[in-house]
Amino acid sequence: MSENQKNRCEQSMEKYFFQASAEDFKKIPGVSIAYWTSKSIIQSFESGSRLGDHLDTAQGMKTLDNERFIRRWQEVSFSKITKKTVSDKQWVPINHGGGFRKWYGFHESVLKWFNDGEEIKSLAKEKYNSVTRTVTGMGHYFENGITWSAISSDLISVRKFGEGFIFTNAGMCAFGSEKKQDISMALLNSKVGVEVLKILAPSVNFGPNQIGEIRIIDLNESAHIVHINSKKLVVLSSEDWDFYETSWDFTNPPLLKLYHRQHLISATYMRLHSYWRDMTLKMQRLEEENNRIFIDAYGLQEELTPEVASKEITLTCNPYYRYSGNKSEDELSALLQSDTMKELVSYTIGCMMGRYSLDEPGLIYAHSGNEGFDPTRYQKFKADDDGIIPLTDKEWFSDDAANRLEEFIATAWDAAHLEENLGFLADNLSPKKGESSRETIRRYLCDSFYKDHTQTYKKRPIYWLFTSGKQKAFQCLVYLHRYNEGTLARMRTQYVIPLTAKLAAHVNKLEQDKDASTSTPEIKKLEKEIATLHKQQAELSTFDEKLRHYADQRIPLDLDDGVKVNYGKFGDLLADVKAIMGGANE
């Protein structure tokens, strides 16, 4: 080996060679052999105070049966959810983990806690002869705090939550004064926090003990800046979380907020997109300022920089975070625009169903059995009479989803610009060559909406797709919360039986057109359409028989049982039965 080769080899080896003192390891809680750790971080374990001395870190309960006790909040009657310690309501919000999202969010689940958790405690006592062995952290139930997922694939992400929550072992929590919560959350969400946790929790299992051992350095006058920054970051993140209908604090889509709305949906979206970009940049600046303060305080200027990558700004309106993969800026922008239009369609369906209203913000009807439904709360855009919305490839019914969506757009925006607005909406729903905007919208509703809806609600849909089968002779959406024992009978008499007659009449007309035609291409086209209609007629006849069977049973639903149980009560009348019933509660 030449002298130059030897020198290069030695230089290369230096990159992977560390010198560390065994005495330094003893300064780290648990004596972690973190040989790569800088002396500045090791010094923090001597000079800093334990996070656990500032906040009470706690592990939440094990329910012992998540399928029985946990629901997504949209599944149950909203009137049965409470945030109070003592209540006769059935369900309470829980912190139950979640993905990578900082500052606020993942308020998705509720826990069955009737009579102070009587059933959960009874099960714990039955299995272990002890309540406190599995129902842990009770002293902090319903307090405000910060939470994080117990297990992560990579980075920790800590979020704020208010009063009224219980927490499970999937969503660890810490409690204390608001200022200490905010500063601790900022540290954990910073680059410094990530580096320290690489030592304390190398397996990315973030238990209360590991989090409690993080050292907090005195920030002096910068502590106030971090506190204020944290509050601003929580506000930004909560605003973003509430943009979407999966939040229980959702009011209406940002496209419909007055300070964004223009005459054209395209102009409205451009204004909204600019607002979202500003939100993302503001959050990035605040996080980088926090990073800079912590890096300086811990003396890590040689090891860390304050910059935060765009994909780590955890706002759903930030496409760099929302979408995975190596996509270009144009691709990301197109995805965000398309999804925003799909979210508008979803909200429109919600207004048709009576879940939302253009007259009032937030949830209007999310109870059970259509009881207490008040039609007078829907003046600008009327809710459907029965919560049954047909999805058809042709305009068989005046109140089908496509016609009602057109009515909604003409109401929510300037009716004079209806065609432009329908065109912009259709352009973002994967139009096919030669389709009109109305044809694209109708096809999206028939073929793709339910798939998107099921994905949005994580296989716990609230609008259920009844379908005759592959030929799609008849499809309709039924709002879970408005379903009652007469819904199937009404579906049959109002839609299926009339459609049977309409199909027969249309076949007769096409047969007459074929007999009268002298054009071979036209005759072939008509024969193909007639053959398709015959298949649909046969499918619809079979569906009608099954529908009558289930309608005669007048099947009741208990929303407390959840979507998974209730979805299986209708045989194969519903779409995607195996996928819905096979998905486990998180």
pLDDT at 43: 77
* Mean pLDDT value of segment 240-253: 97
Tens of pLDDT along 1-13? 555 555 555 554 4
Tens of pLDDT along 17-67? 444 444 444 444 544 444 446 677 777 777 788 999 999 999 999 999 999
Query: What count of Cα atoms within 13 Å lies in the side-chain half-sphere of residue 418?
Result: 11
Mean pLDDT of the chain: 91
Q: Is 308 helix (H, G, I), strand (E, B) or coil?
A: coil
- Residue identified by tokens 């009479």 is 385
The conformation of residue 411, written as its DSSP 8-state character, comes to: H
Which residue from 413, 387, 416, 391 is spatially nearest to 403, judged by alpha carbons?
391
Query: Which letter, b or e, does each residue of 393-409 get, where b requires 16 or more Cβ atoms within 10 Å of its Cβ?
Result: beebbebbbbbbbbbbb
What percent of the chain is predicted at pLDDT more than 70?
92
Find out whether 59 and 208 touch, Cβ atoms under 8 Å.
yes
Find out whether 239 and 257 touch, Cβ atoms under 8 Å.
no
Handedness of CA 151, 154, 156, 157 (dihedral sign): negative
pLDDT at 515: 87
Predicted confidence (pLDDT) at residue 303 exceeds the cutoff of 60: yes
d(CA 556, CA 387): 16
Write out 515-540 in H/E/C secondary structure: HHCCCHHHHHHHHHHHHHHHHHHHHH
Max Cα distance, the chain (Å)? 98
Query: What count of Cα atoms within 13 Å lies in the side-chain half-sphere of residue 485?
Result: 6
Q: Is 471 helix (H, G, I), strand (E, B) or coil?
A: coil
d(CA 329, CA 299): 36
Ranked by mean pLDDT, which of 28-32, 296-300, 516-520, 543-547 comes out on top?
543-547
The DSSP H or E segment spanning 215 is strand 215-216
Write out 61-109 in H/E/C secondary structure: ECCCCHHHHEEECCCCCHHHECCCCCCCCCEEEEECCCCCCCECCCCCE
Distant-in-sequence, close-in-space partners of 287: CB < 8 Å, separation ≥ 6:
189, 190, 233, 308, 313
Q: Phi-psi category of 345—alpha, beta or left, where left has phi over 0 and alpha has psi -120 to 50?
A: alpha
Query: What count of Cα atoms within 13 Å lies in the side-chain half-sphere of residue 12?
Result: 6
Tens of pLDDT along 180-235? 999 999 999 999 999 888 888 777 788 888 899 898 999 999 999 999 999 999 99
Query: What count of Cα atoms within 13 Å lies in the side-chain half-sphere of residue 493?
Result: 8
Backbone angles phi, psi at 397, to 5 degrees: -135, 140
Predicted confidence (pLDDT) at residue 173 exceeds the cutoff of 90: yes
pLDDT at 198: 85
Handedness of CA 125, 127, 130, 133 (dihedral sign): negative
d(CA 70, CA 167): 11
Strands 475-479 and 215-216: unpaired
d(CA 346, CA 349): 5
pTM of the model as a whole: 0.91
Query: What count of Cα atoms within 13 Å lies in the side-chain half-sphere of residue 561?
Result: 11
How far CA 70 is from CA of 65, 94, 120, 262, 457, in Å, comes to 8, 9, 11, 41, 15
d(CA 537, CA 501): 10
Strands 171-175 and 145-149: antiparallel
Q: What angle do CA 570, 454, 557 make, to 5 degrees?
A: 35
Tens of pLDDT along 254-291? 999 978 889 999 999 999 999 999 999 999 999 999 99
Strands 166-167 and 91-95: parallel
Look up residue 444 and give its two tokens.
Answer: 């999206």
Look up residue 335 and give its two tokens.
Answer: 């995805």
Tens of pLDDT along 360-384? 999 999 999 999 999 999 999 999 9
Find out whether 118 and 88 touch, Cβ atoms under 8 Å.
no
Predicted confidence (pLDDT) at residue 88 exceeds the cutoff of 70: yes
